Amino acid sequence: MSAASERAGALISELRNIVSSGALSEKERVELLQSVVKFTTLLEKPEDAITKLLYTPSRFVALRVCSELKLFNQIVEHGPITSKELAHATGVDQLLIERLLRVLTASDFVTETAVATYAPSGVTEALATRLMTGMVEAVYDVGLPGMTAIPEYLRNTSYKNPHDAANGPWQLGRGIKDQQIFSWLQQHPRELGLMQTYFEADRGSRPNWVDWFPVEEKLIQNSGLDKDQVLLVDVAGGRGHELSAFLDKFPNLPGRLILQDQPHVLDDPTLGLDPRIEKKTIDFWVEGPVQGARIYYMKFILHDWSDEQCLQILSHLTAAMDKSTSLLVVEDFIIPDTGCHLLPAMWDIEMMAFLSAMERTRSQWQKLLSAAGLDVLGMYDPPGDGTGIIVSRLSS
């Protein structure tokens, strides 16, 4: 082994020890990850970096097929397991399994222990869960047509920034017109279920806002709430996963917790909510949420829509707010003017593909909320590369 290889091996071992020790904060972890990416870029020749990027879709294809075949579950439950054993368990061609998993072992998504023999890595274990399976299938099955249509859409519109949620890249990729993705999903139950799982899982392993944001200090202190008043309304909160996390963190806070969404979401038989969480339907295009709550919480809602549509939604919400006590808490990406992390930058293009929408910068959030008659009390960046928190109240 060369001296350079030995130094690299020692560096990798040191890095592995640091990560496995759990000593890194989320901020340090993300900063270190950025440094590793820069180190990789330094080592990789430009032409090789471009070639690898061009062939990246093959990894997503392998991931999607293996997810559908439940190969990750088999590897987690029975690994180390051979391709022959996987073929017997699934009824899938053995050679096909080897070709698919070759891409994923090379990506360190699956561990290769011997010839055509596979064991689980941490990524494999994650891919065997309901949430990550749903994420993979949702992005691939629902989202990819919009992503692949972006170049054609932009050519057709003389490279105007997309803004029409009913006629954007996603509609072009699907071959439909004048229909937003959310109404399409109501007509396609399988894809709707995938997207609801996606919304449950989209935080990934990044810390929940209740674990890093000073909730009691900034939102609860001196509120004077009793058990019969509404503490928190999760507006368009899907399966209620964010409310559940809030309740787990603050089980003894007084006040009611209310999940509001459309009937087809709240009627989902898989919805297993704590009985302390109330369900109430809402169509935020035509009505406001429950009146007079202390906190109205919206995660990944306003980033779905243009400023004009957001103002329509917010006009109904602000009409429900109490001028002296209510707060609006928006959880979303807050794009910095420079030095944006890769995740929110990529998410921004996803929003373009799905909804002709976008992630907003700090100044864009300020402008939008001010136009809605709200005073921004603070914008709080997360400890890593995830979503931030914006707190506002009715303008005085």
As annotated, the active-site residues are: 303
At residue 260, φ and ψ (nearest 5 deg) are: -120, 130
CA distances from 144 to 46, 95, 199, 246 (A): 27, 27, 17, 33
Question: Scanning the structure block, which residue is given the tokens 């996390």?
Answer: 245
Q: Tokens for 90, please give them.
A: 């699934």
DSSP string, 267-282: T-TT----TTEEEEE-
Task: HSE, CB side, 13 Å, CA atoms: give it for residue 313.
Answer: 20
How many residues can be counted in the chain? 396
> In a 3-state reduction of DSSP, which class is residue 27?
helix
CA dihedral 340, 343, 347, 349 (to 10 degrees): 60
Which helix (H) or strand (E) is 229 found in, with range?
A: none
> Residue 236 has what DSSP assignment?
T
330 bridge partner residues: 298, 390
DSSP 160: P
DSSP string, 324-375: TT-EEEEEE-EE-SS---HHHHHHHHHHHHHHS---EEHHHHHHHHHHTTEE
